[in-house]
Amino acid sequence: MITILAFVILLGILIFFHELGHFIVAKTSGVGVLKFSLGFGPAILKKRIGETEYQIAALPLGGYVKMLGEDPDDRDQVTHIDPQRSFNRKSLPVKAAIVFAGPLFNFLLAVLIYILIAWTGVPTFLPMVGAVQKASPADKAGLISGDRIVTIAGAPVESWDDVSLNLQGLGAGKTVAIEISRDSRVFLLHVTPVLTKDKNLFGEQITRPMIGISRGDKTFMKRHGPLEGISYGFVQCYRIVELTGISLWKTVNGTVDIKKSLGGPIFIAQVSGQSLKAGLLPFLSLIAFISINLAIINLFPIPVLDGGYLLLFLIEGITGKPVEGRPREIAQQIGLFILILLMLFAFYNDIARLLKG
């Protein structure tokens, strides 16, 4: 039940913000909005306020904002709205802004969540030494489990991330002074990092300067100030966008196995339940992460996605003629076929993970 509840809450928040972006920009641009729907299929709850009907539908895997004149072939249009407020009668920049607003609001949702986390407190590992490898540079220098690293080459160390960054910045083969705190006493040790084989986040073999220590398990809540928290929100969002872009590229060129990297609704539901059980902060972090991924996916130039509509607007801007009729229909059919294939493959991966445990 927790998994189902977490999945419904996560999807509801993501879909609501995405469609809210389309809705707000459409309204402020003077476009008549006929329907705002969370979910597809028959309506469970619905209410008309002004010209717009708001509804929650039976299938929660998506949502939509239906605008006047958005689909020229759709005859299901109200007659009391001024035809001049039709989506198709707006300029290309306005139409592009309305379409782009959906992914933009998903990015903004992630930024807002990361800002909230920064103000509340980011769980951060203390710069405590967990284990020391035998005969490693750290072992030879005298570091032991439980030591707290205070400075590296004179640079202050506040968290375990600072330890990794400072050591990598110095390189290998160069002796570095490390100040540690042990039993309320301060020691200055000299360690020479060596290049060691390791694996990065994507499982690729790399070499990096290391001294042979692992982090401890003690953490603290690192709270950011008002302006610092806002900066953290945008920086963290950018980092996830960058990481997602790298992951996609490595998946395309075969570096990352798509069978391991691609997950569908079942996988998202599992992770949603696990993160909610872990606490509110992990759950919010997951929402931010998936919101960024949803924004990026929606910007793919595939017809039926927001990026596909932006591509059609670009073609219209270059040629001076809108893409409509049979060419538009074929493009949408191809886009829908691609999405169905990806969804089926994602479901296959999810089921294979369940069977393998």
Give the closest residue to 212 by CA, choosing from 243, 235, 184, 178.
178
In the set 19, 70, 228, 324, the catalytic residue is 19
Q: Cα(238)–Cα(315) distance, rounded to whole angstroms?
A: 29
CB atoms within 10 A of CB 67: 26
Q: Cα(184)–Cα(107) distance, rounded to whole angstroms?
A: 45
Query: For residue 185, what are the contacts with CB-CB under 8 A and spacing of at least 6?
Result: none
Token representation of residue 291: 């919101």
19 assigned to active site: yes
Provide the H-helix boundaries in 177-305: 226-252, 258-261, 265-278, 280-298
Q: Cα(342)–Cα(71) distance, rounded to whole angstroms?
A: 25
Provide the H-helix boundaries in the chain: 2-28, 92-120, 137-141, 160-170, 226-252, 258-261, 265-278, 280-298, 306-319, 326-356
With beta carbons less than 8 A apart as the criterion, state whether 228 and 118 touch. Answer: yes
Total count of residues recorded for the chain? 357
Q: Cα(111)–Cα(119) distance, rounded to whole angstroms?
A: 12
Catalytic positions, written as ranges:
19
